[in-house]
Amino acid sequence: MVRGTMARIYSFEGNVPVVHPTAFVHPDAVLIGSVDIGPGCYVGPLASLRGDFGHIELREGSNVQDGCVLHCFPGADTVVEEDGHVGHGSVLHGCRVGRDSLIGIKSVLMDGVVVGRQAFVGAGSFVKSGFHIPQRHLVLGSPAKVARELTADEVAWKGNGTVQYQKLAQRCLTGLHPATALTERVAADTTAVAEPEHVTLHEFRSR
């Protein structure tokens, strides 16, 4: 069981990270100092949440995926509100991600950015300092600009994706174990998931 193997957690000048017992933090993620991880959160491998200058907070049901970096300037906070969804390799620096919002893969959010509730940041976007993203809108580009309002179906699609990560957190707490690689695939081991419960946005739109 991985729950007890979260070795990469460091206190800094008396500040010790706090991880709710229902959250999952991968053993190869790093938490430093003033970091709070709320109930049901998922933190993927190689994520770095560095609360040495300011405070880092993930609220209930949010996820920060593989290779993300969360940091901020002294006296500032980086906050991912409830059900926030931060895609692989993104950088959040001194910003606030609103409730039920999506940060696309490899996006960068600079200091003072505020992402409105249920807003989307498109993959690979650069959101400049101080930019406020309206609720339920999509921003894209470098620098990111408001593209359009989101549809109800797109917001629902995002919500389903976040639920999958909330389920994954619980699955990892009981089902993820260090292992030695097999020398060949056993047929019975090839179906980790029988049917996909979530599809890409491109596939979703084409239905």
- pLDDT tens-digit series, residues 185-203: 887 665 565 456 777 776 7
Instruction: Please provide the average confidence, as pLDDT, over all residues in the chain.
Output: 93
Residue 31 lies in a domain: yes
Q: What is the pLDDT of residue 194?
A: 47
Measured over the CA atoms of residue 134, residue 136, residue 142 and residue 145, the dihedral's sign is negative
At 25 the pLDDT is 97
Q: Is residue 188 part of a domain?
A: no
Residue 7 pLDDT class (50, 70, 90 cuts): low
Alpha-carbon distance 113 to 131, whole Å? 5
Q: What is the pLDDT of residue 1?
A: 39
Work out how many domains the chain is built from and give that number. 1
Enclosing domain of residue 104: 8-149
The pLDDT score that the predictor gives to residue 48 is 98
Residue 169 included in any domain: no
- Interval 4-23 mean pLDDT: 88
Give pLDDT, residue 66. 98
User: How do residues 93-123 score in pLDDT, each as one tens digit?
Assistant: 999 999 999 999 999 999 999 999 999 999 9
- 103 domain residue, yes or no: yes
Q: Residues 19-51, buried b or exposed e (16+ Cβ, 10 A)?
A: beebbbbbeebbbbbbbbbbbbbbbbebbbbbb
Q: How far apart are CA 199 and CA 97, in angstroms?
A: 23
Q: Which residue has the tokens 């976007």?
A: 125
Would you say residue 59 lies in a domain? yes
Q: Is the pTM of this model over 0.85?
A: yes
Q: Is residue 63 domain-resident?
A: yes
Residue 34 in this model has a pLDDT that exceeds 80? yes
Place of tokens 């339920």: 136
Q: Is residue 12 part of a domain?
A: yes
What pLDDT, on a 0 to 100 scale, did the predictor assign at position 4? 44
Token pair for 28: 């190869």
Average pLDDT, integer, range 161-172: 97
Confidence bin at 162 (pLDDT 50/70/90): very high
Q: Is the pLDDT of residue 206 over 90?
A: no
Report, as an integer, the average pLDDT of 71-85.
Answer: 98
Residue 180 lies inside a defined structural domain of this protein: no
pLDDT of res. 188: 61
CATH code, domain carrying 25: 2.160.10.10
List CB contacts of 183: < 8 A, sequence separation 6 or more. none
**pLDDT single digits (tens) 122-152:** 999 999 999 999 999 999 999 999 999 999 9
Mean pLDDT, to the nearest integer, of 74-79?
A: 97
Share of the chain above pLDDT 70, in %: 90
